[in-house]
């Protein structure tokens, strides 16, 4: 299993005795995080028969057991999964939380103006309806714009989880408002777990929007402004082979492989790199 480590500047600080840099990452640098082994219950959910063959094939790139263990998601937790797409993580979270906890899913609206999002929501709804024994306790509602409309929570949430969504919200101008909303539904000390494509430090915001890769500094700064503190950082989803400079941004890589037809050099290069380099950050509500 991969280990979790201090932010690089902390290591330099320990050696050189210099002052911390006045940057969002510097101000919010997390403490050392112990390597947390996934529990037997979590491993059972990850390895369960409810998962599709296609989804399981991506485990080596997405590291679901290690990621959820790092976020500290317990089986009795009240958890909100944001924009769950086709239900890749839902396949794991639903059985894991079924008996003791509760999973809420905030998806794009059924009547969203974007065809891709409408189809995505319809597929997700159909997936859950086809297996009520597995997904019957999942509470599904609409991803909020300015407020939650059709989701009500039994109590303040223990965790809000987002996997590769922040770049979309940065692009559509809703990132800051959404982070504030997520903060408000968490209990004090509740976790915001973020997995996101990671840009090279210093990448201009305009390029972050067009490429789908965000800098850690931007994510930390926006989360801090919404009332979160950075509690930990993991490299479990890092990919050092990814140079972050693809013509179609992150969508050049698997699984999208945009403009990379079968047998082309572009596809071969993308497959050799694998899925994107990603940050994995754990924030807590102040």
Per-residue pLDDT at 29 = 54
Which residue did the predictor score with more confidence, 72 or 27? 72
Q: Which residues contact 216 (CB under 8 A, 6 or more apart)?
A: 25, 198, 201, 233, 279, 281
146: in domain: yes
Three-state DSSP class for 153?
Answer: coil
106 token code pair: 């905030």
**Model pTM score:** 0.89
2: in domain: no
Query: Taking residues 184-198, what's their average pLDDT?
Result: 98
pLDDT tens profile 226-252: 999 999 999 999 999 999 999 999 999
Domains: count for the chain:
1
33: in domain: yes
109: in domain: yes
75: in domain: yes
Per-residue pLDDT at 36 = 81
3-state secondary structure 32-70: CCCCCCCCHHHHHHHCCCCCCHHHHCCHHHHCHHHHHHH
CA angle at 251 for the pair 264 and 271, rounded to the nearest 5°: 45
Is the sign of the CA dihedral 84, 271, 251, 23 positive or negative? positive
18: in domain: yes
Quick one: pLDDT band at residue 152, thresholds 50, 70, 90? very high
Angle between helices 64-71 and 90-97 (to 10 degrees): 50
Which structural domain, as residue segments, surrounds residue 27?
Answer: 8-285
Residue 181 and residue 177: Cα distance in Å, rounded? 6
Number of H helices and E strands in the chain, helices first, is 14, 7
CATH number at residue 229: 3.40.50.150
81: in domain: yes
């Amino acid at each position: 299993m991969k280990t979790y480590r201090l932010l690089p500047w902390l290591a330099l600080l320990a050696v050189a005795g210099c002052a911390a840099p006045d940057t969002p990452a510097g101000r919010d640098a997390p403490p050392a995080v112990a390597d947390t082994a996934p529990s037997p219950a979590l491993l059972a959910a990850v390895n369960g028969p409810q998962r599709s063959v296609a989804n399981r094939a991506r485990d080596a790139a997405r590291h679901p057991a290690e990621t959820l263990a790092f976020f500290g998601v317990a089986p009795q937790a009240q958890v909100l999964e944001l924009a769950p797409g086709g239900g890749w993580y839902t396949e794991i979270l639903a059985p894991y939380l079924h008996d003791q906890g509760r999973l809420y899913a905030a998806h794009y609206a059924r009547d969203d103006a974007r065809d891709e999002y409408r189809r995505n929501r319809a597929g997700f709804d159909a997936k859950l309806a086809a297996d009520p024994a597995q997904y019957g306790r999942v509470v599904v509602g609409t991803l909020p714009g300015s407020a939650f409309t059709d989701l009500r929570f039994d109590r303040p949430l223990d965790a809000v989880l987002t996997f590769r969504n922040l770049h979309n919200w940065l692009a559509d101008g809703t990132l800051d408002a959404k982070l504030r909303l997520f903060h408000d539904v968490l209990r004090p000390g509740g976790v915001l777990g973020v997995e996101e494509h990671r840009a090279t430090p210093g990448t201009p915001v305009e390029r972050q929007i067009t490429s789908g890769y965000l800098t850690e500094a931007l994510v930390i700064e926006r989360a801090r402004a919404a009332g979160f503190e950075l509690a930990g950082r993991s490299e479990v989803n890092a990919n050092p082979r990814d140079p972050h400079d693809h013509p179609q941004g992150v969508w050049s890589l698997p699984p999208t492989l945009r403009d990379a037809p079968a047998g082309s050099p572009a596809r071969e290069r993308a497959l050799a790199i694998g899925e994107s380099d990603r940050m994995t950050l754990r924030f807590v509500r102040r």
